[in-house]
Chains A and B, each alone.
Chain A
Amino acid sequence: MSELVLDHDIDRSKMKVSNEIAIQIVKMNKWYGQFHVLRDIDMTVHRGERIVICGPSGSGKSTLIRCINRLEEHQSGQIVVDGTELTSDLKNIDKVRSEVGMVFQHFNLFPHLTILENCTLAPIWVRKTPRKEAEEIAMHFLRKVKIPEQALKYPGQLSGGQQQRVAIARSLCMKPRIMLFDEPTSALDPEMIKEVLDTMIELAEEGMTMLCVTHEMGFAQAVANRVIFMDQGQIVEQNEPKEFFNNPQSDRTKLFLSQILGH
């Protein structure tokens, strides 16, 4: 099993799940042409939850979190994010997107802008924050992800791990209430995975609502309060991490866990 070495004990004082519902998904279905990618997904995420979604490739886990900020359109069912239902109404979509931060597998930083400009762009143009204030916020979050000294460089000059941390800072600058992570460490060298996971753990410690698609089971055990296993577009099993890893119920989950934890 991939061990996550922690520098410190995780501070759980702020990791509290409230009763307030952050995301509500009801009977959601999605097709790519004829292919039924997501089948009858029902899911409720409370504020403060840290959910890890895992499953074999092609199981629809990325598609699921991409539906939450409507990078993918669902064809039936309901998705309500922070009280706003996602429909084809562009105003609602933009509202949800500015409240929900997203971190991608391939970082997707804007290569023509400096790190600082990457972080200030959305606050300035979407939130109408004055430039000076936006820059202060950006520097605050760049310090938080521990790369303030790179602020004036371009993304191409940074390592993968640094780029991913910038991508996290860029999302945080919008002060999101929910963060989505789509395989944030899959494109990184093993040496760099830890620095990104550390940043994510720190975020969890501050009580951020997080949905992470990841294969980092060490991370799941350390901070998640719920692990969801998906296969063939359906939620097969979900449980709190200890139970999920030690006592999986379905055969499909057992097989998957034995494959990724076996070596």
Chain B
Amino acid sequence: MSDTHAQTVPFVRDTMLPQQAPPTSQIGAVRWLRENLFSSVLNVALTVLAVGTIVWIVMHIGPWLMNSVWNANSLAECRQILAGESGACFAVIRDRWHQLMFGFYPSDLYWRPILAMVLMLVAIAPILFDKLPRKLIWFSALYPFVAFWLLWGGSLWLPLAVIGGFAVGYGAFLGLSRVTGSVLALIGAVLAAIVWWVWLAAPVSSALQSAVSLSIRPVPSRDFGGFMLSIIIGVTGIALSLPLGIMLALGRKSDMLLIKAISVGFIEFIRGVPLITLLFTASLLLNYFLPPGTSFDIILRVIIMVTLFAAAYMAEVIRGGLAALPRGQYEAADALGLDYWKAMRLIILPQALKISIPGIVNTFIGLFKDTTLVVFIGLLDPIGLSNAIRADTNWNGIYWELFIFIGVCFFIFCFGMSRYSMYLERRLKTDHR
């Protein structure tokens, strides 16, 4: 069939060609192998070298892992069972996993951190997945108080009194906003809440406690340890550093000189100092600055320092996102008459945060892994506990198995965060570019 009328010079196509299948060498596994592994002499050599290296590593580590001993009471017993062969001694994990998880938390109270962990999953679910009922957010808001009470124990009235501070603030806001403008009312509300927390919350809760006793056994901070400690510091740090980072990033871009100077000063100072010095400050120096007699919980101090540290990095990541937005977005928001806070909340931040997701999650992961640094100020995170476990004569000399276990646990958390961030990026993708 001729469709090109070769005899006439002006050309008009009168039949359209149908689609045809590509040649077989251009599709499927064959093509993939050729393109990716054997496309040139150099690539063939690299492929062979890589396969060789992988085989070599598996040959050496494989038997060590396959020969693992899971049932023994000491390293010596492990070696006896192995009888000279190479093999891992994961019995140490079986023997000491509860320490790696909970530190020296009283073993009869393990249900409390476990319950707190389960509730944490419930609390963060509505924040992570927007398909869940929105009412669950109320539980997420209450969760920090529930978790505090479960983990540290003591009187239930204390967390209730702290929650009461929010009610006091809200009441003050409602009362004052009838009399004055909303900004003054807001300032009054914050002051009222602070007055409540600093001077009134403690006496009120102890008075209520003596009237109606509602308490569970208290556990001191020094007994906390293991992954429980890492998760407490990590999750609190993550939850607090994001809002603080956003405020710092906005502050750095602010037109108000004082706010800008404070933000820049804070960010540059914190970024310029190693985290470990901040932690030492938290553990040693802070006590000199506080009034004598006040004891300020060490875990709380560490959380504050870790949060400040991560917030400075977070601020810079978010500033990058803000800078990446076209100026037209700011102008369109202005032109519609949105004020600064509404423009930020509805237009600018949703887009800037979306752009910054990889950087934000990167900072989260960094923060979570940095919690292992608390070992240097005497807190027993998993690394600190591995030293404690080795100090026992039964397990003296065991390194790899403990570190592999700790590494795997951290990897699960960090990989989970990274996967979630990719899911979130896909879900928020609306630009269809």
Contacts and interface: CB of A to CB of B under 8 A. Distances in A.
Interface of A: 69, 71, 90, 94-95, 97-98, 100-102, 104, 106, 108-112, 121-122, 125-126, 154, 156-157, 170-171, 174
Contacts of B350: 112
Contacts of B336: 97-98, 121-122, 126, 170-171, 174
Contacts of B136: none
Nearest to B343: A125
Nearest to A70: B334
A170 to B, nearest CB: 8
A151 to B, nearest CB: 15
A97 B350 CA distance: 23
Interface size on B, as a range, is: 20 to 34
Contact of B431 (A122, A154, A170): A154
B432 A102 contact: no
Nearest to B342: A125
Contacts of B431: 111, 154, 156
B329 to A, nearest CB: 6
Interface of B: 326, 328-329, 331-332, 334-339, 342, 346-347, 350-351, 354, 428, 430-433
Given A94-B337, A94-B339, A102-B335, A112 B432 contact: no
B432 A156 contact: yes
Nearest to A105: B328
Nearest to B350: A112
A69 B328 CA distance: 14
B338 A126 contact: yes
A156 B431 CA distance: 5
A175 to B, nearest CB: 12
Given A111-B351, A112-B351, A122 B337 contact: yes
A125 B338 contact: yes
A173 to B, nearest CB: 9
30 contacts: A69-B335, A71-B331, A71-B334, A94-B337, A97-B336, A97-B337, A102-B332, A104-B331, A106-B328, A108-B331, A108-B332, A109-B332, A110-B347, A110-B351, A111-B351, A112-B350, A112-B354, A112-B428, A112-B430, A121-B338, A122-B336, A122-B337, A122-B338, A125-B342, A125-B346, A126-B336, A126-B337, A126-B342, A156-B430, A171-B336
B195 to A, nearest CB: 31
